[in-house]
Amino acid sequence: MYKFGLSNFPDEIIIMILQNLPPKDVLNLCQASYRFMAFYKDKWVWKHLIKKDFAYNYKGDYAWKCYITFSKRKGTRKLSCGNAHTGIIVENKKLYMWGENNRGQIGYCETPSGLTLIKVSNPSQISCGSNFTGLVTDDGYVYIWGIKVISSLSNSIDRCCPTLVHLNNVEPILQISCGTTHSGVVMITGKICLWGGNLFGQIGSGISSPAMSPTFITIPGGVIKLVCGDGVTGAITTEGELYMWGCGIFGLMGDGTFENKEVPALIKLPEKIVDLSIGMLHCGVVTDSGKLYMWGVNDTGQLGDGTLIQKDVPTLIKIPKITQISCGQRFTGVITSNGDVYTWGYNNRGQLGDGSIRTRLNSTLIELPSKAKQISCGAEFVGVTTADDKLYMWGHNYQNQLLNIFEPNQFTPALVHGIPKV
């Protein structure tokens, strides 16, 4: 609609247009026109449509930037691979899970036979941790299930079905991230709170004792993406800055030191950051110009710089323009701006998807029948959704985390059958 020059119309016409469009179309207009964006933010639509969407009438830059950012990312937050389990939100707003369920991490209290529909209304974003899972709904509620250590539910039992987390706040949640022993969420105002294991200070509260209840952490500028890893946490702010905290061994903080950080620390990078991923002992970020920087352990070439040398500061990796990154246990996968998938690092289970078990020190192009939309790397396996709304998986399959692929290891991308349109 914006192709016809509507941004030049007088205010009263714009009001009429915005009042009679669904929120999705309004958002498209705003993303295409700075005038519509300013109007949307400051006048009628913010008050009515945002309040309707989130049941919370908050005016401010944090809320606006978070809303725009996460609205743009909705199509890239629907697949998640954990240690040995997988979850995906399909087009008809249903959540399906499969794989290992020894601690209830797929949200089903009986032994699953394969693809399992999980009963949660209006799922929006999923995050599979090591042995547990977190979910955000369209209404901004958070559910979590799986192993008791990081359940955040103030009791000592595993939860095998989705259980609502009470965060003692009135702000809707936009994103959840589940790590190995801790979890965290981002709210519409840019605030974050975390809970769970804290041996290395990964909660960010200034101490290293476990956080048995959600703990609010302050980061200047507000947060638009939070990533919980293995004893490490990272966050991207609304201004594109990167903060890291937690375990500093092997240079994981990216600041040239090897010390743990119990509070968020600003990491210097030459450009604004748009994506972040944390693997077992390595990290990577994507800048707004599509450059890729990586650091941490590099014993299997997981940094992709052609060496086996550890890096304690962000190191530029030579690769085509990147839009997404996902770090697995000892390997890495990315999607480029034209939808190609590249992987590198350890390959003992076929997790690189190149048809071999050869470890790769440099990026390797993976053949897929369609362009990629999202990539998620689990411990030793990978899932990719494509532009034709299909799911491909490869790598280790010892717990049926690749679903209907019946080999113990899958060395090239294989189409996953039986899943509705993704």
DSSP H stretches of helix in 58-131:
61-73
34 secondary structure, DSSP code: H
3-class DSSP assignment, residue 372: strand
When pLDDT is averaged across residues 120-131 and rounded to a whole number, the result is 93
pLDDT, tens digit, for every residue of 236-246? 998 899 999 99
The per-residue pLDDT for 92 is 85
When pLDDT is averaged across residues 1-24 and rounded to a whole number, the result is 52
Calculate the average pLDDT of the chain.
84
Domains of the chain in sequence order: 12-54 (no CATH), 59-268 (2.130.10.30), 277-422 (2.130.10.30)
When pLDDT is averaged across residues 212-230 and rounded to a whole number, the result is 92
What is the rounded CA–CA span in Å between residue 409 and residue 401?
11
The per-residue pLDDT for 35 is 47
What is the rounded CA–CA span in Å between residue 36 and residue 43?
10
What is the rounded CA–CA span in Å between residue 242 and residue 265?
8
210 secondary structure, DSSP code: -
Beta strands 142-146 and 381-386: pairing type? unpaired
When pLDDT is averaged across residues 246-253 and rounded to a whole number, the result is 97
Q: Are 190 and 182 in contact (CB under 8 A)?
A: no
- What is the distance of C-alpha 268 from the center of its chain? 22
When pLDDT is averaged across residues 114-135 and rounded to a whole number, the result is 93
- Concatenated DSSP letters for 144-180? EEE-GGG--SSSSS-EEEEEE---S--SPEEEEEE-S
- Smallest CA-to-CA distance from 380 within 345, 332, 343, 328 is with 328
pLDDT, tens digit, for every residue of 33-78? 544 544 444 444 444 444 444 433 344 444 445 555 554 554 557 9
pLDDT: is 10 or 361 the higher one?
A: 361
| Cα within 13 Å of Cα(405), Cβ side | 25
- Which of 21-25, 60-64, 216-220 shows the lowest per-residue confidence on average (mean pLDDT)? 60-64
When pLDDT is averaged across residues 411-419 and rounded to a whole number, the result is 94
pLDDT at 97 over 80: yes
202 secondary structure, DSSP code: T
The residue count for the chain? 422
* pTM of the entire predicted model: 0.84
**Would you state the structure tokens that stand for residue 301, as one six-digit string?**
């070439």
Q: Are 327 and 351 in contact (CB under 8 A)?
A: no
